[in-house]
Amino acid sequence: MSAAFDERAEPVQSAEHPSRTVRGRAAAGEPRPRFDTLTVPKASDVLAGEVRERILSGEFTEGTALPPERQLVEQTGLSRATVREALRILEVERLLEIRPGRGGGAFVHRPGRESLANTVRLVIRGQRIRLEDLHETREAIEPACAALAARRRTDADLAELDDAHTDLVAADEDIQRFLRANIRWHNAVARAGENELLIGFMSALSQSIHAATNIEQFMDADIRKLTARAHARITEAIRDRDSEAAMRRMTRHVCGFARAAAEVDQRDGVDLTDPEN
């Protein structure tokens, strides 16, 4: 051990003042050096991180087959168990698709809107997000979706909106059919806006709000009638490429829906705003 760190070290002469002697730092009242506990990442996490980065950077494209497990072991110098654990991590993250059998292996799966939607749904369920928070989020982003849809929609988008609306109206007393058509219409608005992040968020929000309001006493005849009318007016604005009207009507629609959902346990009637303008 160096004399500089040993309290028991023999005195030594000072180079600058030969008549003086110095001892170890501890003898002078100074604390010994300390080191924080080092956290060494698991080898499987390191390998998964490298593969993840190469997928997300675009180096590994969709459908690219990774080397067979045996080759990965040889190339990385890691154990078979470590390589398998790394592949499982990436499979759970939906960055790899593991196909069994002959011709199988690990294939790159780049994340898309469904990956985002699944992640948002997991956060909503795992954190037990309040219905009020879901509605606030929807009120913040869905009017923007409607405005984008009015600017970017195609004839195919209009056909999907019209078809979903027709299905919603035809549902009549079939609540489940009505709810499915309702989700379909709202997701069609988001897709028409051609913003992948908004599409993913709306997919997750629509499913979660559906699950929270899937009750007959909420989806009564008045709400279904006003919902159909609101959808028709918003679709009209999207068809006319009137982004301001689309945003305004969607804002009134989703805010009215949120109020009705909040009042469902104590209301006698329905208070949904009809978007006349």
Give the whole-number percent of the chain exceeding pLDDT 70.
81
- Rounded to whole angstroms, the maximal C-alpha distance in the chain is 104
pLDDT (0 to 100) of residue 277: 59
- Is 179's pLDDT higher than 50? yes
What pLDDT is attached to residue 151?
Answer: 98
The alpha carbon of residue 72 and the mean position of all alpha carbons in its chain are separated, in whole angstroms, by: 30
Per-residue pLDDT at 213: 64
Q: With cut-offs at 50, 70 and 90, classify the pLDDT of residue 263.
A: low
pLDDT in tens, 242-260: 999 999 999 999 998 777 7
Asked if residue 116 has pLDDT above 50, the reply is yes
User: What is the predicted pLDDT for the residue at 261?
Assistant: 66
Report the distance separating Cα 24 and Cα 1, nearest Å.
11
- Domain architecture of the chain: domains with CATH: 43-108 (1.10.10.10), 114-262 (1.20.120.530)
Task: State residue 205's pLDDT score.
Answer: 87
pLDDT of residue 1: 45
Residue 128 confidence (pLDDT) above 60: yes
Amino acid 60: pLDDT:
92
Angle at 164 between CA 161 and CA 166, to 5 degrees: 105
**112: left (phi > 0), else alpha (psi -120 to 50), else beta?**
beta
Which of 63-67, 71-75, 158-162, 272-276 has the weakest average pLDDT? 272-276
Encode the chain in three state secondary structure: CCHHHCCCCCCEECCCCCCCEECCHHHHCCCCCCCCCCCCCCHHHHHHHHHHHHHHCCCCCCCCECCCHHHHHHHHCCCHHHHHHHHHHHHHCCCEEEECCCCCEEEECCCCHHHHHHHHHHHHHHCCCCHHHHHHHHHHHHHHHHHHHHHHCCHHHHHHHHHHHHHHHHCCCCHHHHHHHHHHHHHHHHHHCCCHHHHHHHHHHHHHHHHHCCCCCCCCHHHHHHHHHHHHHHHHHHHCCCHHHHHHHHHHHHHHHHHHHHCCCCCCCCCCCCCCC
Q: Residues 149-161: what's their mean pLDDT?
A: 97
pLDDT in tens, 63-91: 999 999 999 999 999 999 999 999 999 99
State the pLDDT at residue 6. Answer: 44
pLDDT at 272: 40
- Identify the band that residue 39 occupies on the pLDDT scale cut at 50, 70 and 90: confident
CA pair distance 28, 21, nearest whole angstrom: 12
Q: Given this model, what pLDDT does residue 153 score?
A: 97
- What is the predicted pLDDT for the residue at 7? 43
Confidence of residue 135 (pLDDT cuts 50, 70, 90): confident
pLDDT, tens only, 190-208: 999 999 999 988 988 888 8
Say if residue 94 is exposed, middle or buried (CB neighbours under 10 Å; 0-12, 13-18, 19+): middle
Q: Report the chain's mean pLDDT, rounded to a whole number.
A: 83
